[in-house]
Amino acid sequence: METIMEVHLGQKQKQQEFTVSISQLSASSPTTPCSLALARFSIEGQGAQLRFHQDSEPRDDILVDLRTAQLFKLGPVESTCIDEGSAINKEEEKSYSRGITIRFKVEDESRAFHRAFEHWKTEAARVCSGGRLENGILACKSKFDDKIEASSAKMYFHYYGQLLHQQNMLQDYVRTGTYYAAVVENRADFIGRVVVDVGAGSGILSLFAAQVGAKHVYAVEASEMAEYARRLIAGNPSLGQRITIIKGKVEEVELPEKADILISEPMGTLLVNERMLESYVIARDRFLHPNGKMFPTVGRIHMAPFSDEYLYVEIANKALFWQQQNYYGVDLTPLHGSAFQGYFSQPVVDAFDPRLLVAPAIFHTIDFTSVKEEELYEIEIPLSFIASVGTRVHGLACWFDVLFNGSSVQRWLTTAPGAPTTHWYQLRCVLSQPIYVMAGQEITGKLHMVAHNAQSYTMQLTMSAKMWGVGAEQGGILQTSSCKLDLKEPYYRMSQPQAYAWADQQPQQLMQSQDAVGPGLVQQLSQNSGASLTQ
């Protein structure tokens, strides 16, 4: 039987109650007489608290700040709770120390209360950032909320909450087929194991894990897609009985046990867009046993300079509109420069012919098993290439691949140019000022990416042509070009006609299935491409 647990701390969802008898002693008031109260633990919008609700008005409730409170056993059925924090309810004095004597009916109840107290104290410490608002209310924010703008997160999870977008990913057969193959070929990594599916979406990867014999899969999904996943799993009962859908962010939910293996599809454009890799790494630190496996295990960003006159002219021409001096009698030219730069600040997303690359590619590796979440906030990649041909370099072409480092089979999922196209396509950063190179000349530079709170990156690209020929050993720079781009605002060029027909000219191995495509072939393609460049 499948279950759905709503675990989203910060909302009124987790509660536990005990009926007890209490009396209160505080610095400002004498001991109160014994009275019956409902002791209720909760993590709410107001923070983590223990509320003693007596028969009277809710405003007479006694609220205890679980981050600072301590509980001592006075006897088998009697305990005292010391609260040394500031008042949570604003009517109370701002700073105090008070004791609440609690009497239980039976010893078992006392034990259960102590256990719950410890559990909720741990929860309180974990979910509360420690910030206290002016009105004395605890501000509980998760790591996700701390770094991501609420409006961005809202749009993001709204997008993934729709079946049409999940379908788009499911219909990327290169993507989904490679995940399936990686799981099936490495069933030994899943049989009898506890699995966490990080950002489960429709639940497809959880179902794959259950198919190959996972003991239990916890499928964590923050968007409304969790409900659809529950329905999909209910419709596949033989697998669904080993899957638990948990609606919430991986940064916030609690799981009943640690995982042997994480499975996830956290890759965005250029691998890092959407900043979901950070959630994958947080999930690793929160849920994975030491030495547990991660599918995928490693990701690589590949980069190579390219030459594409058609693309350059197309982008530059977009700004021509602003060259008009008489647009209904208005001179638009003062804005031409800004419009021109604006178009070049958009990374171009499309599938291009690998023969446009003018040097063998280099790559930057991110090991998901060891990278620290903070290391993904800023990524700096030094660039160094040797041009294979003399040409105009229009910018940097980028793509990524990920490795499933299974115990039985190592499988790569690649988004390389020339390999079967995925829904990620490839990405090109186009320089507004191209640079000229000769065959054998060194191209240096830097790709600097800084994460922003709209779940993406600002990119700064610099490319330089180094001195070449006589005197080159002195290492001077002949020409430099830079541009700043926002990975969040790409130019999706897929609907545009491609300027070249290349399918029938590809090497035979490119026409073969994804099985044949690995990082070795990607390198080979990149090496070949420069030599056969046609402009």
Ligand X SMILES: C[S@@+](CC[C@H](N)C(=O)[O-])C[C@H]1O[C@@H](n2cnc3c(N)ncnc32)[C@H](O)[C@@H]1O
Q: Would you tell me which residues interact with ligand X (CB under 6 A)?
A: 144, 157, 160, 169, 199-202, 204-205, 220-223, 225, 249-251, 265, 276, 279
3-class secondary structure, 162: coil
3-class secondary structure, 138: strand
Q: Which is nearer to ligand X, 189 or 251 (CB)?
A: 251
Q: Say which residues have a Cβ less than 8 Å from residue 87's Cβ, sequence separation at least 6.
A: 63, 93, 94, 95, 96, 136
Q: Which is nearer to ligand X, 60 or 374 (CB)?
A: 374
At closest approach, how far in Å is the CB of 249 from ligand X?
A: 4
Q: Which is nearer to ligand X, 104 or 287 (CB)?
A: 287
Q: Which is nearer to ligand X, 137 or 169 (CB)?
A: 169
Return contacts of 419-424, CB within 8 angstroms, 24+ apart: 419/174, 419/510, 419/514, 419/517, 419/521, 419/522, 420/174, 420/513, 420/514, 420/517, 421/174, 421/351, 422/172, 422/174, 422/175, 423/168, 423/169, 423/172, 423/175, 424/267, 424/268, 424/269, 424/399, 424/400
Q: Which is nearer to ligand X, 201 or 418 (CB)?
A: 201
Q: 485: which strand partners?
A: 459
Q: Which is nearer to ligand X, 205 or 361 (CB)?
A: 205
SS percent in the chain: helix, strand, coil, step 5: 30, 35, 35
At closest approach, how far in Å is the CB of 466 from ligand X?
A: 39
At closest approach, how far in Å is the CB of 381 from ligand X?
A: 24
At closest approach, how far in Å is the CB of 283 from ligand X?
A: 8
47 dihedral zone (left: phi>0; alpha: psi -120 to 50; beta): left
Q: 214: which strand partners?
A: 191
d(CA 309, CA 307) in angstroms, rounded, equals 6
Residue 471 Cα to chain centre, angstroms: 47
Give Cα separations from 80 to 77, 473, 520 (angstroms): 11, 78, 67
Furthest-apart CA atoms within the chain: distance in Å: 96
Q: How many CA atoms lie within 13 A of 275 on its CB side?
A: 28
At closest approach, how far in Å is the CB of 247 from ligand X?
A: 9
Look up residue 54 and give its two tokens: 């007596």
d(CA 299, CA 310) in angstroms, rounded, equals 31
d(CA 333, CA 325) in angstroms, rounded, equals 6
Catalytic residue ranges: 265, 274
Q: Which is nearer to ligand X, 202 or 441 (CB)?
A: 202
Q: Which is nearer to ligand X, 160 or 306 (CB)?
A: 160
At closest approach, how far in Å is the CB of 262 from ligand X?
A: 11
Helices (H) and strands (E) in the chain, counts: 13, 26
Q: What is the CA radius of gyration of the chain?
A: 29
Q: What is the number of other CB atoms lying within 10 angstroms of the CB of residue 93?
A: 10
Q: How many CA atoms lie within 13 A of 419 on its CB side?
A: 29
Q: Which is nearer to ligand X, 253 or 435 (CB)?
A: 253
At closest approach, how far in Å is the CB of 204 from ligand X?
A: 5
Look up residue 529 and give its two tokens: 């491409």
Peptide bond into 296 cis (omega under 30): yes
Look up residue 438 and give its two tokens: 């000769």
CB-based closest residue to ligand X: 199
469 dihedral zone (left: phi>0; alpha: psi -120 to 50; beta): left
